[in-house]
Every structure is written in structure tokens, then in C-alpha cells.
Amino acid sequence: MSTEPPQFILPQFGIFAQGTHAHHFLEFDLKPGVDAAEAVAAFRRLRTPDVSAGGVNLVAGFGADLWRSVAPSAAPVDLTPFETINGRDGHTAPAVQHDAWLWLSGAEPDVTWQSARAAVLAVRDAASLAAEQPGFTYRGGRDITGFVDGTANPPVRLAADVALVPPGQAGEGGSHVLTMRWVHDLVAFDQLSVNDQQQVIGRTKADSIELSDAEKPATAHIARVEMTVDGEELEIFRRSVPYGSAEEHGLYFLAFSAERSRYDQMLARMFGNSPDGLRDRLTDYSEPVSCAYYFAPSLNALAEAAGPE
């Protein structure tokens, strides 16, 4: 009979960190000739005071090819790179897939910026920075369209059930990550009346009350992204934040899921590729310009794949 204590699978806790107002997203490509295991080890070493001090949360994700090459037994069967979605009426979701992704979040932008810079310097021998996007919270959790964002999220106490691969499955304790940078056409959206905006979103603007089935169009954003199978809702854990300048601005959509297929179904419904052929009207006013899938492994799998420090 084994006397070894049971091993607890620990997720990356930053996935669930609340109360963060400043965000920094980084994407990397491995440099030519760099060993995949060495690259993962470089990202694992980011959990040092130089990078994660000052209350900054850090979540690391890896592209399907990189993670599977390093930890094939800890890679979910359905882990794949993002593929460009060609939807109805010329609307697309372009794949801009990189090898690794970091999300740093904290209380203030100066601290997250400092940590992001430290992270880039720390992994520069293994990977080069391919994309960077700071983000922020807006008016207490609203998108810059003025509507409350993430209202369909599960409560934090239940979020792990939605976001993490269940015990006993390959990749247990890890999470499928979807990132999408959306650019809003606020000029066009702001020309709509508040009532028309609410028809696009499917919720009231002032107090975020979902419209009744009689009032809510089948093409409303809420109607397209809320999915049920056999009477049960397929949930994802959203952590999106606004970003941008005075000229270009939008939403950095970020979500975590126990299954990649939930994203596939949601995006098919948004872009008119589901059986009903309907498209999310929000895509008339916001356009995704880069999309990717990553896998955020458990701390256990990350430590094992990276080897001893």
C-alpha cells in the first residue's frame, strides 16, 4: 500500500485573480534552433520576484505544437492551433497563432508594464516578442461600447469547473485559452439609438438586464454566444478587457475553457456557420483582427515539462 501523499493538481491561479485593473498581453515566437523544452523552462522561470512582484499575476500559455512536443501526455486530445474562420457576408476571424502567450495583470499599469518588460528580457534568448497589447478596466467592468461585459460568467467559486480540464483527463488542471483582439467601430455604433444598441447586444445598456425572448433578436450578441446542449449551458470563463488609443480601440477577448469545442461552437454561431445560418450582429460593429488558441497547463505539468530549476 502506497504511503505517498496524494498529489494535488494546481492550476495557474492568475486565471481566477479578481480586482485587477491593469493588464498586459504578450505573444512570442520561438527563436530558430531553440529546443522546445528549454523554451518552456524559460517561461517557467518567469515566476520570480523580478517578474511577478508587486501583486502582479502571471498566466502562461503555449501553442498546441509547442506544448504537445514538450508534454504529449499532458496535452488534451482536442488541443489545436486556431484556424481562420470564414463566416457569412465576408466576416472573418483571422488566425494569428504564435508559440507562447503571457497575461500579466495587476493593480496599476506601471507595475504590469515593468513586469512585462522584465518578462520579455527574461525569455529573450529563447523567444522573440511577436505581439503586445496593454489593456485596462473601463467604468467598473464595461466594454467601451458602454455595455457591461462578462455578465454570463459563472461565479468565481464555480469558475474552475468551467475553465479547467477535469481530473483524469490529459491536461488535467490546465485550460484552453482563446484570445481575440477585436477592433470596435464606435463611430458607427454610437450612431445607433440606445434601443437599437440594446437590440445588437441583447441586454439593456444602463443596468445590464437581459432582454426577454420576445424582445431579443435571434441575431443579438447574447443570443449567439450563449449555448445549450441537451438543456445544459456550455459555459466559458471570460476575462476580457478593453484596450486601445483614441484612434484604434476595442476589446481584448480572453476566455478559459475545459474544452476547446465550446469555443468552436460559439464562434460558429457568431459568424453564421452554425446550422441556423444566423450571424451575430455585433460583428457589424466590431471586427477581430487576430485570434489564437493556447493551453495554460497546470503548475504541476509546467514544472514537470520544464524540468528541475
Q: Between 230 and 151, whose confidence is greater?
A: 151
Q: How confident is the model at residue 229 (pLDDT cuts 50, 70, 90)?
A: confident
Q: What is the pLDDT of residue 1?
A: 47
Residue 245 lies in a domain: yes
The catalytic position among 99, 149, 161, 207 is 149
Catalytic residue status for 149: yes
How would residue 274 be classed by pLDDT, with cut points 50, 70 and 90?
Answer: very high
Within a domain: 2: no
Distances (CA, A) of 51 to 58, 105, 122, 136: 9, 11, 9, 19
Q: 208's torsion region: left (phi>0), alpha (psi -120 to 50) or beta?
A: left
In a domain, 11, yes or no: no
Mark residue 171 as left, alpha or beta (left: phi above 0; alpha: psi -120 to 50; beta: remaining): left
Q: Does pTM top 0.75 for this prediction?
A: yes
Task: Give a yes or no: residue 1 inside a domain.
Answer: no
- Mean pLDDT over 100-129 rounds to 96
Q: What is the pLDDT of residue 50?
A: 62
The residue-averaged pLDDT of 37-62 equals 85
* 103 has pLDDT over 60: yes
Q: Which residue has the higher pLDDT, 49 or 290?
A: 290
More confident residue, 19 or 42: 42
The parent domain of residue 278 ranges over 17-306
Query: How many structural domains are present in the chain?
Result: 1
Residue 160 has pLDDT above 50, yes or no: yes
In a domain, 12, yes or no: no
Evaluate whether residue 5 is within a structural domain. Answer: no
Q: What is the mean pLDDT of residues 280-287?
A: 98
- In angstroms, the Cα distances linking 293 to 54, 65, 109 are 29, 11, 25
